[in-house]
Structure 1
Amino acid sequence: MPVIKIETRIKGDVKVVFDLARSIDFHLISTSGSKERAIAGKTSGLIEEGESVTWRAKHLGVYQNLTSKVTLLQRPNYFVDEMQSGAFKSFKHEHFFEQKENYVIMIDIFTYHTPLGWLGKLADFMFLKKYMYQFLESRNRILKSFVESGEWKNSLPNFAN
């Protein structure tokens, strides 16, 4: 079972970072490279515990749908989203947030199982884990930039923290 852990330090307020991390609208901005769209469930605003969203995106050259559900949320320190349907056999994405003076430590722990038995394990070894790490790290880099520059105030005018 592969596990990806990423720690990001962000100058800002934990409530802003937490809410951006669960914002459907920010997710669309931060994943524009994969042409993600929210097509069902919660399609705008802040996703809450018990809510799900279905994304349509192009990953590794293939369009696919993925539905995830927020299974636990403790604002502003922790939330979990878990795959309900999609290309993985399963995944669990834990998001941790901790305020330290004037910055936030944001930790992502992404645990997943690939489908297709040994073929899935081979794909994971060859490219999938690296691809997923880069995807998550890129999203975190954009979130950090939005918070530290204050760009979230202009790009997401209806965002309330």
Structure 2
Amino acid sequence: MPIIELTTYIKSERKIVFDLARSIDLHKISTEHTKEEAIAGKTKGLINLNEWVTWKAKHFGITQKLTSKITEFSSPHYFTDEMVEGAFKSFKHQHIFENKEDGVLMIDKFEFQAPMGFLGQLANSLFLKTYMKNLLEKRNKIIKEFAETEKWKSVLK
């Protein structure tokens, strides 16, 4: 099972970074290039424990739907979302937030399994893991940009 681990240092308060990471509205902003939209479940605001969201987006030229649910939650320390239904065989995304001297270390641990057995493993090695890492890095860049400026106030009303 491929695992992507990212660490992003953000000069902001942990609660702000935590809330931006679970914001449906900020997620939409960070995925504009895929035309991602929340179409069912929690479709705006901050997602919480046991809540779910269904996303519709275009990846690899194909419109796809994916439903994920928050399965673990301790504000402002960590939360986990897991796929309930979608294109992957499975995924689990842990979001961890550690206080540092002048900010927060945001840690992502994203584990996933592609469908289709051997073909899925081949897709992982050829492009899927890199594609997913790039999506997460873009998302983290947006979280950092909003958290380190006054932009966070436009999302966390």
Runs of 4+ in 1 over 6 A off after TM superposition: none
1:1-161 to 2 correspondences below 5 Å: 1-153=1-153, 155-156=154-155, 159-160=156-157
Partner amino acid, structure 2, of 1:75: S
Distance 1:114 1:29 in 2: 26
Distance 2:109 2:51 in 1: 20
Distance 2:146 2:44 in 1: 18
Quick one: percent identity of the two aligned structures? 58
Structure 1 residue 99 displacement after superposition: 1.1
Any idea what the Cα deviations from partners look like across 1:28-54, whole Å, max 9, x if unmatched?
Answer: 111111110000000011000000000
Distance 1:127 1:150 in 2: 36
Q: Structure 2-normalised TM-score?
A: 0.98
Partner amino acid, structure 1, of 2:23: S
Distance 1:152 1:30 in 2: 13
Any idea what the Cα deviations from partners look like across 1:118-147, whole Å, max 9, x if unmatched?
Answer: 000001100000000000001001110111
Distance 2:16 2:31 in 1: 19
Structure 1 residue 152 displacement after superposition: 1.7
Distance 2:67 2:33 in 1: 19
Partner amino acid, structure 1, of 2:113: H
Q: When the two structures are aligned, how many residues end up with a matched partner? A: 157
Distance 1:152 1:17 in 2: 9
Distance 2:149 2:60 in 1: 31
- Give 5+ residue unaligned stretches, structure 1: none
Distance 2:131 2:102 in 1: 31
RMSD: 0.8
Distance 1:74 1:103 in 2: 19
Distance 2:139 2:90 in 1: 21
Structure 1 residue 83 displacement after superposition: 0.0
